[in-house]
Amino acid sequence: MVEEASYPSIQLEDLLGRPLNNIEQKFAPKMIFYKGSMEIPIPGPRVSIIGSRGASEKGLSEAKEISKILIENEVVIVSGLARGIDTIGHKTAIEKGGRTIAVIGTSLNKVYPKENFSLQEEIMKNHLVISQYPAGHSTTPKDFVLRNRTMALISDATVIVEAGDSSGSLHQGWETLRIGRPLFICKDVVENSQLEWPEKMMNYGAMELDEPIDILENLPGNIKMMPELLQ
3-class state of residue 129 by DSSP: strand
- Contact (CB, 8 A) for 189 and 207: no
* Domains of the chain, CATH where assigned: 16-30+39-100+138-219 (3.40.50.450)
Bond preceding residue 8 cis, omega within 30 of 0 = no
Cβ pair 116, 79 in contact under 8 A = no
Distance CA 199, CA 9 (A): 39
Summarize pLDDT for 73-122 with one digit per residue, the tens: 999 999 999 999 999 999 999 999 999 999 999 999 999 999 999 999 99
pLDDT tens, position by position, 207-219: 999 999 999 999 9
* Cis ω before 29 (30° cut-off from 0): no
Burial level of 172, CB count in 10 A (0-12/13-18/19+)?
Answer: buried
Alpha helices for 17-168 (secondary structure H): 22-25, 57-72, 85-95, 117-126, 141-154
Cα atoms in the 13 Å half-sphere on the side-chain side of 76:
22
pLDDT tens, N- to C-terminus, the chain (231 residues):
445 457 999 999 999 999 999 999 999 999 999 999 999 999 999 999 999 999 999 999 999 999 999 999 999 999 999 999 999 999 999 999 999 999 999 999 999 999 999 999 999 999 999 999 999 899 999 999 999 999 999 999 999 999 998 898 999 999 999 999 999 999 999 999 999 999 999 999 999 999 999 999 999 863 444 344 333
Within 8 A by CB and 6+ apart from 213, the residues are: 225, 229, 230
- Report whether the peptide linkage leading into residue 113 is cis, meaning its omega lies within 30 degrees of zero: yes
